[in-house]
Amino acid sequence: MRHFFEHKEHLVRMAVLFVVGILAFVVFREIMVPAGFGEYGHFRAGALDDVRAHPVKYAGQATCVQCHTDIAEQRAQGKHAHIGCEACHGPLATHAEGKSDEVPTKPDPRATCLRCHTQNVTKPKTFPQIVPAEHSAEGPCTACHQAHSPSLS
């Protein structure tokens, strides 16, 4: 016992050093490590929510067909049956959610079609392609074809 107290300042010094060191580590860690880090892995769990918070711009065709049943029926019968509405109409989530009173503008009835149907050797041979100058030099394609059900035969 006496032996112990004889050199106690060594021990006290060391203990203080330990405590300060550990405290500093705990405080530093608390400040530096973001909340939720490590919950699912080596990352901040809240980052998942951050990414999910991004707004949706393409409503998805399932939403469009709920209201535009006539066009959905028309499309279902033709060769464009599997093309999403927004592939031609562009992102319309604000319209579909009723957040915008603006009536969406119609897609260009020529440029829209040419984007997909202009002939190109790199396109798969089975895909229907046309040479615009030969097939219809100018004017809207919709003069003959219906946009939502394009086959004439």
| Contact residues: other proteins, CB under 8 A | 1, 3-4, 11, 15, 18, 22, 26, 29-30, 34-37, 39-58, 60-61, 80, 82-84, 86-87, 90-91, 115-116, 118-124, 127
CA distance 125 to 135: 18
Whose CA is closest to 85, among 40, 152, 114, 93? 93
| Cα 118 from chain centroid (whole Å) | 28
Residue located via tokens 């004017």:
139
Site string for ligand HEC, 75-114 (x = CB under 6 A): x---xx--x-xxxxx--x--xx-x----xx-xx-xx-xxx
Shorter beta-carbon distance to other proteins: residue 15 or 144: 15
The one of ligand HEC, other proteins, none whose footprint includes residue 92, by CB under 5 to 8 A per kind, is ligand HEC
Q: What is the largest CA-CA distance in the chain?
A: 110
